[in-house]
A and B are shown apart, each in its own frame.
Chain A
């Protein structure tokens, strides 16, 4: 039982030099393959498309990347504790509606709208945590159910309509408020040439990277994702940390929703629809970056940047929109080949399995 896996490991320490050299190409591919692919794509578009070389193109690319990256950071946190959060797209969509309602229907200030959205994200995270930790529903299934519920629930107070200024309310009056200038600046503001969302993405990436790798809480989350029983027997309150991870995921999704809402400038009911799949894709891509073989914040951000490069590049080259999905799928597959096929690491972070 316990002993079989551990008895024959003494010999593996001193690999013969020849063997080390033979595997080094593979090792190199696993470690740097993804970064090289990113650079190659960037170089390709850079040399072939003059429009791609513009500074404004670069920054608008970063701006568009930010929403997916921040959602991906949330998913990364859920993946770190061995779960997966399928409700992030709906949560972002809900945030768009909440912010629009706060400002348009209730004529409140931008800070209050931001606060309401963040609290909303936190509550969704708490609800996910309740389903998973207390009711013991598998992560995938619980967040799937939440995904549908939020999608529908957010439409109830707005009667299924998108919320924009001038909206006619149920009692026949016109909605009193509008998207404030300050709120619209969230997406449209700049520091020098750098758009706010790009800055926010950078800050959140660094914060999450620091949190996951340099704090005891992040350390514990990785332990849970890799071997929950060992974590429990080392005194970790597994449920508490899982709950925390889903709450972070919810808040991250709501931040993406804020940027989306500011970008669209109205409470579009279909906002955030594609965000879930993109977010999962970049979080999965992130696990392969630098051969980490586990969810990590920097990898997720890099994955989002690569996605951004590909979308922007193919758009500039005039490829039809549906090719974008093909490209996304191919990149994700490549990342999975790096971490599952090529990697020699025996100990992979446990993915969420609905059993």
Chain B
């Protein structure tokens, strides 16, 4: 049997970094193939190969005949259309909705570029009718920026569909959609498959895959690790995606259960359409917040730290009202955070370890505003010593250290004294196993000494290695809240799928 599109042994490297290591994929008319993979697994590279953005090794054939997808134009001619996750990459602000719908035609001069929105209107309406969008004339003529995000997403989909693709690639298409809008999208997908279109559905949302996919393919480290037919065996698929199996996880017997409540969230809304969230973080334990991309982990972390205050809901810290409007307010209340993006969120130019370490607490290394170079250096050396940072001295620029050592510095700088709450957002990204182990040990010591430690991660192994209690976050809502000793890997993974 030959497939419509057949990918064989697809490889792709960026410099020495091999991103795809021999990927085989088949797309059939009328079938939804779902792709699941963690961050950095190579999902977007697969999409970009298929849509002609990247050169690649290996072969692609269409209806049994080998083809070359060497540019986005070729991909389009072959009937491959992609709707990318980032809406801002697709819509052109400043143009009307109608002009955005007909943008490809305008570019190829099929429609006059001077066409008024009135003359574009009938065509645009016809396109929109594919998706039954039901927009008013005013909306068609209005600026595309005035559309809701969900409508912009649907606009891009309509634009892809008008060319009657044979293979439609949808990259995280529901991340901006409400449940009703997502349902509408699924109906469209069903209609498309009935009409014989192949759909390549890339998503982190397991329930959606469960609902619409005819085949599930799991990608990890640039290789296909598993293929599943419905009904999908989720715990096995997630093992394929996350990389480690239960047997490899080391047994732990150091679980701590905190007793005193420190930080309580009441009715906080993490994502626009999520239900209010109630949760309490306790001192003396490490709470791991597990969730896939887009589950609301970063929203939770930056809300508690005042970096992006919660719009709905309230918090108390040690039984007093706590509503930080800025990180500086949170820090005064001894709530600290290490942000997810180390380069953008913590590193300042080519600053040394000493400077980076002392920045949050400059008053401690200065008198009457004048910095004391020696005490500043000592702060850096302290971090180096207590976290085992591999560096020559505190004068070394942080940027010259390895990822793991950088992370030790930016975590260590907060832990000179005992914080009330220490929030770590994806602290082990780009961190080697040795440094991760060191960090886990230190962070657990901090919790043991009486801090509430909150660790956000999309990697379950990290949570199982470092945390005592686990919260599972799905679409901004908590689906599971228990101590690790009272749950299992399977139960945690199941909670991602079932509500």
Q: Which residues of A contact B (CB under 8 A)?
A: 1-7, 9-10, 12-13, 214-217, 219-220, 222-223, 226-227, 229-237, 294, 345-349
Contact = CB atoms under 8 A, between A and B. Distances in A.
25 contacts: A1-B341, A3-B429, A6-B342, A6-B343, A7-B430, A9-B399, A9-B400, A9-B401, A13-B400, A215-B369, A215-B370, A216-B366, A220-B359, A220-B362, A222-B348, A223-B359, A227-B347, A227-B349, A231-B359, A232-B307, A233-B327, A235-B327, A235-B332, A237-B326, A347-B350
B402 interface: yes
A39 B180 CA distance: 73
A233 to B, nearest CB: 5
Contacts of A348: 349
List of 10 A-B pairs having minimum Cβ-Cβ separation, nearest first: A3-B430, A216-B362, A235-B331, A2-B341, A347-B349, A226-B349, A235-B328, A234-B360, A10-B402, A6-B403
B155 interface: no
Given A215-B371, A237-B328, A349 B349 contact: yes
Contacts of B96: none
Contacts of A7: 402-403, 430
Interface of B: 39-40, 305, 307, 326-328, 330-332, 337, 339-351, 355, 359-360, 362-363, 365-366, 369-371, 399-403, 406, 426, 429-430
B307 A230 contact: no
Given A227-B349, A234-B346, A2 B430 contact: yes
Contacts of B400: 9, 12-13
B348 A227 contact: yes
Contacts of A231: 348, 359
B356 to A, nearest CB: 9
A214, A223, A233 interface centre (most CB from chain B within 10 Å) = A233
B348 A235 contact: no
A7 B428 CA distance: 12
A230 B345 contact: yes
Given A216-B362, A237-B328, A349-B349, A5 B343 contact: yes
A235 B331 CA distance: 6
Contacts of B328: 235-237
B488 to A, nearest CB: 30
Given A223-B351, A231-B348, A349-B349, 13 more contacts: A2-B344, A3-B40, A6-B406, A10-B401, A13-B400, A214-B370, A219-B355, A219-B359, A233-B339, A234-B346, A235-B328, A237-B326, A345-B350
B342 A2 contact: yes
A230 B346 contact: yes
A102 to B, nearest CB: 33
Contacts of B348: 222-223, 226-227, 230-231
A251 to B, nearest CB: 18
Nearest to A2: B341
A214 B347 CA distance: 20
Nearest to A348: B349
A215 B331 CA distance: 21
A229 B359 CA distance: 13
Contacts of B342: 2-3, 6
B349 A216 contact: no
Contacts of A346: 350, 399
Contacts of A10: 401-402
Contacts of A233: 305, 307, 327, 337, 339, 345-346
A212 to B, nearest CB: 11
B403 A3 contact: yes
Given A2-B430, A10-B402, A349-B349, A215 B366 contact: yes
Contacts of B406: 6
Contact of B344 (A219, A223, A227, A236): A227
A4 B19 CA distance: 13
A168 B312 CA distance: 65
Given A3-B430, A6-B403, A235-B327, A219 B371 contact: yes
